[in-house]
Chain A
Amino acid sequence: MIRNRKWIKGVQAAALAIAVCFSIGATDATARYEKLNHQFMCSCGCGQVLGECNHVGCPASPVQLAELKADMTNGMGDKEIMDSFAAKYGATVLAAPTTTGFNLVAWIAPFAVFLAALLGTILLVRHWSVGRKQLGEPSNTPEMDALRERIRRETGSEGSY
């Protein structure tokens, strides 16, 4: 019983440690800015991520980056900023689909397919290895023995490689 409690305490401690780890995110502003500007696309049509758009005289990215900075200083949350960008520039400004509505399918499908395929493969392998066919017992005639002898000689099971 006591051992059991110790075990539970250990798990609790581990869970707490993990929770602490995950809660101490990079909170400083530049990191957040870098992170956010990689969540958007540049809307000039160059097809690049906003933070990586480097066109000389790009009409869109400086404006969008300034807007992002302003939103951040105004204390808007990540979600609010994303919503306001999406409202202003259309849903295509978000570099990845959202996790709501039909867009969730985009995220689920890959993992669903992977899991289904994994399961299928495991079942298939099990099915095969259970129904594995045995070769019929070979005849032990002297001719066959001679052949086996020859095979062993020619495939070097006696020392060569």
Chain B
Amino acid sequence: MATFGSLALIIGLALAAYNLFAGGVALRLIATGQQAAISPERLADTARRAGIAVFIAVTAAAFALVYAALTNDFSITYIMEHSNRALDLKYKFAALWSGQEGSLLLWCWLLAAYGFVLRLRHKTDVKLYAYAGTIFAAIQVFFLAVVNFAAPPFSLLRGTIPADGNGLNPLLQYPEMVIHPPMLYLGYVGFSVPFAFALGALMMRYPGEKWIKITRVWTLVTWLFLTFGIFLGMHWAYAVLGWGGYWGWDPVENASFMPWLTGTAFMHSVMMQEKRGMMKSWNVWLIFSTFLLTLLGTTLTRGGLVSSVHAFAQSSIATWFYVAMGVTLAICIFTYIMQRDHLRADHQLESLVSRESSFLFNNLVLLTACFVILWGTLFPILSEYVQGSKVTVGAPFYNRVAIPIGLFLLFLTGVGPLLPWRSTSLKAVKRNFIVPTIALWVTVAVCLIFGPRPLSTWFSEAGYFYALVAFAVSASVFTAIASEFLRGAGVIAKQTGKNLAAAMYLLTRRNTRRYGGYLIHIGVVIIVVGLAGAAFNKSTEKELALHDSMSVGPYTLECVGFTQDSNANYDSNYALLDVYQNGKKQFQMAPEKRVYTASQQPQTMVAIHSVLSWDLYTVFEGTNPDTGQPIIKAFLNPLVSWIWAGVVLIVGGTFIALVPSLTPATAAVKAPATATLHAEPVLKGGD
């Protein structure tokens, strides 16, 4: 299988290289109008088909690796290091991305899959797709070169083949870990597509902004994968790592968050270009940066430049990525300089009170957040260089710096939808702000009345204060968006005589993108409420003898047993806890600690009881060696389930935004007639 896999990867690389070369030559021939032995369009089509074939080859390689994992082929170093016989089937499958070589192969495969779809859909705009496909092939050549030469997944073990493998890192033996990395990678890899289109459109001086419409679905889907991947990672950290939290500002988390921030900025800002032909240079650079940040993220976490909990995949491939980033940046700058006159804006911003300016500020905040994270991640290196000693930039730094920025962003989430395009006067929109402002102050009052005592703690504790602001702004943003929905539905209801629910449905169908977007905003608001709940976390730790009890928040936990168990894969220790509320038994929890046989690594299995208002989260910390009794840590984490609920709304909103809008009958545009005049006289020769 190793031979087959290696061969498939070489074939993939050769085909991708052919795609890049032939595609490039064909585009050059077409652009310059030179005569060649073969028709350049025919050449371009073979390049496209080579791109499709890459997908087949890389799929075969990925299949070979999974097959090797499933059949326990420990002659392959990678399988020996990341799998073992007793490993559950689904985790053997996950071995494909549990180590460096495998995850790079997964990256190549996802890239090939995106490329496959891209090349199949080329009839949408053959020329634009030919440019994008060729740029995409360049990215594929790089990643395939890395898996072929720098991190080959099929390298064979020297010496005797061991009877069993080292096993999968127990931290990764959790169902979500089977989908979290592929999701995140789909997001990371996916940004290559809008990048390729943006660069291609710039290279060919694509007339108009239609390319944005063409790539919109790609960008949205990619963004969705990245968002979902990040939250799956958070949920995994929460449910598996057992420290009671979900986000630790680890460099790897940061690495996934940075392209998310610039990608989100791009999705907003590109609307200005699509609608009004503004901000063209800015958007091009946003998507360039997003792509570069995905490369940088990979480099940071794999190159050992910054230390991280995710240190499972460090090696020397960083050099490859530095070169790739340098080359990409050089190409971007060169293309931009050569074609910058093509990016002149059709319109300019007309007023501070407009949707455009709210997008501008949204971009400003998102990019500042991205800068803060990049700065925090790289500061230890800078510090070592300047003052000769490393410092840690951990959670306290980010919490203090990022929370105010995040709250400002949340505020804009509500303001943006209230402002119309182009320009209006403050007076005109003032009344739209009345209800949200009332909601803001009512929430503040409610929090102060029913919240923790004494009142002064709201202002003396930074966490409480931020939570107060977050709750109040969330309520206000929620009402702002809800009132937008209602106002829109009201207009339709008045015109059609439908009831409000039907009008809201019709409203959403008419502009899926806007109202899907609003739903995403509501999801964000709900997530913020959930995050703010962390300010009120409580925890306590106690050694429990049989029938001892401990209490946290409204719950009392009684230990009714602790025992040991073992199977082929692990030995486990767990405690049985009866949970009482108001003197009545409510449910039972069984936090557990496992020691995996193959790796001899311990692992906590957290027990979580989740309700809308809070999570009761219990961890089996260990056993006291003197008494043999379990030490239990219990957390009461308010509002955590809101985070996951918000994510569901985000996913739903994105799906709505992906549905094409119903266009009014009057919008029928005549089918484009064939004409011979060119949009812009870019071509010297014929085509």
Cβ of B297 within 8 Å of any chain A Cβ, yes or no, is no
Chain B residues, CB < 8 A from A133: 348
Offer 10 A-B interface pairs, CB within 8 angstroms, sorted by A: A21-B455, A25-B461, A26-B457, A56-B602, A90-B389, A92-B390, A93-B392, A95-B396, A96-B397, A102-B386
Q: Mark A45-75, 1 if CB is under 8 A from B, else 0.
A: 1111100111111000000000000000000
Q: Mark B479-493, 1 if CB is under 8 A from A, else 0.
A: 000000000000110
Cα A106 to Cα B686 in complex, Å, equals: 57
Cα A20 to Cα B387 in complex, Å, equals: 39
Chain A residues, CB < 8 A from B156: none
Chain A residues, CB < 8 A from B604: 54, 56
Chain B residue nearest to A122 (CB atoms) is B352
If A26-B461, A113-B368 touch, whether A102 touches B396 (CB-CB below 8 Å) is: no
Q: Contact: B379 with A106, CB < 8 Å? A: yes
Chain B residues, CB < 8 A from A32: none
Cβ of A110 within 8 Å of any chain B Cβ, yes or no, is yes
Cα A52 to Cα B391 in complex, Å, equals: 19
Cβ of B652 within 8 Å of any chain A Cβ, yes or no, is no
Q: Contact: A161 with B492, CB < 8 Å? A: yes
Chain A residue nearest to B352 (CB atoms) is A125
Chain A residues, CB < 8 A from B667: 154
Chain B residue nearest to A23 (CB atoms) is B460
Chain B residues, CB < 8 A from A109: 375
Q: Contact: B454 with A24, CB < 8 Å? A: yes
Residues 437-491 of B at the A interface (beta carbon under 8 Å): 454-457, 459-461, 491
Minimal beta-carbon separation of B280 from chain A (angstroms) = 14
Q: Mark B351-392, 1 if CB is under 8 A from A, else 0.
A: 110000100110010011001100110010001001101111
Residues 290-347 of B at the A interface (beta carbon under 8 Å): 307-309
Q: Which one of B348, B376, B397 contacts A132 once the chains associate, using CB atoms below 8 Å? A: B348
Cα A57 to Cα B395 in complex, Å, equals: 24
Q: Mark B483-517, 1 if CB is under 8 A from A, else 0.
A: 00000000110010000000000000010000000
Interface size on B, residues (CB 8 A): 63
Cα A106 to Cα B352 in complex, Å, equals: 32
Q: Contact: B391 with A54, CB < 8 Å? A: no
Cβ of B436 within 8 Å of any chain A Cβ, yes or no, is no
Cβ of A12 within 8 Å of any chain B Cβ, yes or no, is no
**Chain A contacts to B: CB under 8 angstroms:** 18, 20-26, 38-39, 41, 45-49, 52-57, 90-98, 101-103, 106-107, 109-111, 113-114, 117-118, 121-122, 124-126, 128-129, 131-133, 153-156, 159-161
Cα A57 to Cα B602 in complex, Å, equals: 9
Chain B residue nearest to A97 (CB atoms) is B391
Q: Which one of A23, A52, A161 contacts B664 once the chains associate, using CB atoms below 8 Å? A: A161
Cβ of B245 within 8 Å of any chain A Cβ, yes or no, is yes
If A24-B460, A153-B666 touch, whether A106 touches B593 (CB-CB below 8 Å) is: no
User: What would 10 more interface pairs be, CB under 8 Å, given A47-B307, A56-B621, A117-B368?
Assistant: A52-B243, A54-B241, A54-B619, A93-B392, A102-B383, A106-B383, A114-B368, A129-B349, A129-B352, A161-B491
Chain A residue nearest to B667 (CB atoms) is A154
Chain A residues, CB < 8 A from B125: none
With a 10 A CB-CB cut-off, give which of B351, B389, B395 has the most chain A CB atoms.
B395
Cβ of B277 within 8 Å of any chain A Cβ, yes or no, is no
Q: Contact: A131 with B248, CB < 8 Å? A: no
Q: Which one of A54, A101, A110, A125 contacts B372 once the chains associate, using CB atoms below 8 Å? A: A110
Chain B residue nearest to A111 (CB atoms) is B401
Q: Contact: B621 with A54, CB < 8 Å? A: yes
Chain A residues, CB < 8 A from B379: 97, 106
If A39-B396, A161-B510 touch, whether A56 touches B593 (CB-CB below 8 Å) is: yes
Residues 69-115 of B at the A interface (beta carbon under 8 Å): none
If A52-B243, A95-B394, A121-B364 touch, whether A102 touches B510 (CB-CB below 8 Å) is: no
Q: Which one of A22, A98, A110, A125 contacts B357 once the chains associate, using CB atoms below 8 Å? A: A125
Chain A residues, CB < 8 A from B210: none
Cα A48 to Cα B243 in complex, Å, equals: 9
A-B interface pairs (CB < 8 A), number: 157
Q: Contact: B364 with A91, CB < 8 Å? A: no
**Chain B contacts to A: CB under 8 angstroms:** 241-245, 248, 250, 307-309, 348-352, 357, 360-361, 364, 367-368, 371-372, 375-376, 379, 383, 386-387, 389-397, 400-401, 405, 423, 454-457, 459-461, 491-492, 495, 510, 593, 602, 604, 619, 621-622, 633, 664, 666-667
Closest 3 CB pairs of A and B: A95-B394, A96-B397, A21-B456
Cα A137 to Cα B307 in complex, Å, equals: 63
Chain B residue nearest to A58 (CB atoms) is B622
Cα A111 to Cα B372 in complex, Å, equals: 9
With a 10 A CB-CB cut-off, give which of B242, B351, B396 has the most chain A CB atoms.
B396
Q: Contact: A20 with B348, CB < 8 Å? A: no
If A54-B619, A97-B393, A160-B664 touch, whether A118 touches B307 (CB-CB below 8 Å) is: no
Q: Contact: A96 with B400, CB < 8 Å? A: yes
If A92-B391, A125-B352 touch, whether A52 touches B244 (CB-CB below 8 Å) is: yes
Q: Contact: A25 with B242, CB < 8 Å? A: no
Q: Which one of B242, B248, B357, B460 contacts A26 once the chains associate, using CB atoms below 8 Å? A: B460
Q: Contact: B392 with A94, CB < 8 Å? A: yes
Minimal beta-carbon separation of A46 from chain B (angstroms) = 7
Q: Which one of A21, A107, A128, A156 contacts B349 once the chains associate, using CB atoms below 8 Å? A: A128
Cα A56 to Cα B300 in complex, Å, equals: 28
Chain A residues, CB < 8 A from B383: 97, 102-103, 106
Q: Contact: B396 with A38, CB < 8 Å? A: yes
If A109-B375, A118-B364, A153-B666 touch, whether A103 touches B391 (CB-CB below 8 Å) is: yes
Chain A residues, CB < 8 A from B392: 41, 91-97
Q: Contact: A156 with B457, CB < 8 Å? A: no
Q: Which one of B248, B367, B459 contacts A18 once the chains associate, using CB atoms below 8 Å? A: B459
Q: Contact: B387 with A121, CB < 8 Å? A: no
Q: Contact: A49 with B387, CB < 8 Å? A: no
Minimal beta-carbon separation of B224 from chain A (angstroms) = 28
Cα A141 to Cα B258 in complex, Å, equals: 54
Chain B residues, CB < 8 A from A95: 392, 394-397
Minimal beta-carbon separation of B126 from chain A (angstroms) = 30
Cα A110 to Cα B398 in complex, Å, equals: 10
Minimal beta-carbon separation of A158 from chain B (angstroms) = 10
Q: Contact: A132 with B371, CB < 8 Å? A: no
Minimal beta-carbon separation of A48 from chain B (angstroms) = 7
Cα A39 to Cα B400 in complex, Å, equals: 12
Cα A157 to Cα B664 in complex, Å, equals: 12
Cα A139 to Cα B410 in complex, Å, equals: 46
Minimal beta-carbon separation of B313 from chain A (angstroms) = 15
Chain B residues, CB < 8 A from A161: 491-492, 495, 510, 664
If A48-B309, A97-B397, A125-B357 touch, whether A117 touches B364 (CB-CB below 8 Å) is: yes
Cα A159 to Cα B368 in complex, Å, equals: 44
Chain A residues, CB < 8 A from B510: 161
Chain A residues, CB < 8 A from B666: 153-156, 160
Chain B residues, CB < 8 A from A52: 243-245, 248
With a 10 A CB-CB cut-off, give which of B389, B394, B423 has the most chain A CB atoms.
B394
Minimal beta-carbon separation of B487 from chain A (angstroms) = 13
Minimal beta-carbon separation of A32 from chain B (angstroms) = 12
Cα A112 to Cα B513 in complex, Å, equals: 35
Chain A residue nearest to B241 (CB atoms) is A54
Cα A91 to Cα B390 in complex, Å, equals: 7
Chain A residue nearest to B311 (CB atoms) is A47
Minimal beta-carbon separation of B362 from chain A (angstroms) = 11
